[in-house]
Structure 1
Amino acid sequence: MAAMSPSERRLQKELMSLMKEPPPGVTVDGDQASQNLTLWTVHMEGVPGTLYEGEKFVLQFKFTNKYPFDSPEVTFIGNNIPVHPHVYSNGHICLSILTDDWSPALSVQSVCLSIVSMLKTTAGQFVLC
């Protein structure tokens, strides 16, 4: 078996961390991610007490071989894409940590927490992209 690249080692470590200690309402399809470390499916539940309470969303994380120096591409997929000022109808997410404010110190877990936080915040609290 070929040795893992630094990117693959980091993704493997993050996958194990996300499976063991996921943020509330977040689960990762560990079997699928283990088969292809560059493409993850993450399930997210709407936070109680918000507009999205009771909703179930699916996120797709795509990683390049330059991860963690390049941010993952994160989109909502499937039939239930949240209606939100920072989410386009095609599922693309406008979140600064996914572009200009990305840092290799961030992780999939921190991205998930940021998306949960974004969905908890009302539209008036955001500056649109």
Structure 2
Amino acid sequence: MDAYQRRLAKELSQLVNEPPVGVSISEENTAPDLRVWQITVEGATNTLYEGEKFTLQFRFDEQYPFTSPEVIFTGDNIPVHPHVYSNGHICLSILTDDWTPALSVQAVCLSILSMLSSCKEKKRPPDNAFYVRTCSKSPNKTRWWFHDDTV
């Protein structure tokens, strides 16, 4: 077993046995080589997304954890959120520029749940139509321009 597979096996075991609140995964839905995971996240109580369930797809390459996983929302319920495009791509700095091998799948899930929980208004990013029409199939090949939401 390669180093990245050992790391993924350890993270999978942790998620199955001790999932954070609002996060669930079943061992059956992961690819045999651990490269693709489907994880369900549920909107937190007292947020705009309370009771809603979303599916995240994680894709890993042999460089993980030195490269970030590709993470997108999939399925019929893509959250309407200022940092989530209608094709499921997520604009979140820890998935690209701010990725570090110290992060984990669990940390990414918690960051996405936090992003959803802090949302004040359900709306798509202002450039959604243009982005979806012109983007790469992989969000990891996108050059993101992160902006400050506090302005």
State if a TM-score over 0.5 links the two structures. Answer: yes
Is this contact kept in 2: 1:25–1:45, CA < 8 A? yes
Q: Return the letter of the residue paired with 1:5.
A: D
In the TM superposition, what whole-angstrom CA distance separates every residue of 1:69-128 from its partner, at most 9, and x where no partner exists? Answer: 00000000001000001100000011000000000000000000000000011258x736
Cα drift, residue 29 of structure 1: 2.5
Please identify runs of 4+ aligned residues in structure 1 that moved more than 4 A. Answer: none
1:31 is the counterpart of 2:28: yes
Map of 1:56 onto structure 2: 53
- Do structure 1's residue 101 and structure 2's residue 98 form an aligned pair? yes
Matches within 5 A, 1:52-91: 52-91=49-88
| Root-mean-square deviation over aligned CA pairs | 1.5
Identical residues among aligned pairs (%): 60
Q: Give the 3-state SS of the residue equivalent to 2:112 in structure 1.
A: helix
Q: Could you tell me the TM-score, scaled by structure 1's length?
A: 0.91
Aligned: 1:8 with 2:5 = yes
Shift of 1:34: 5.8
Give ranges in structure 1 of 5+ residues lacking alignment.
none
Query: The residue matched to 1:111 in structure 2 has which SS?
Result: helix
Structure 2 gaps, min length 5? 122-146
1:108 and 1:47 map into 2 onto residues whose CA distance is: 18
Task: Name the counterpart of 2:148.
Answer: 127
Secondary structure at the aligned position of 1:35 is classed as: coil
TM-score (normalised: structure 2): 0.78
Task: Map Cα deviations across residues 36-89 of structure 1 (whole Å, 9 max, x no partner).
Answer: 300000011111100001111000000011000000000000010000011000
- For 1:49 and 1:68, locate their aligned partners in 2 and report how far apart those are by CA, in whole Å: 34
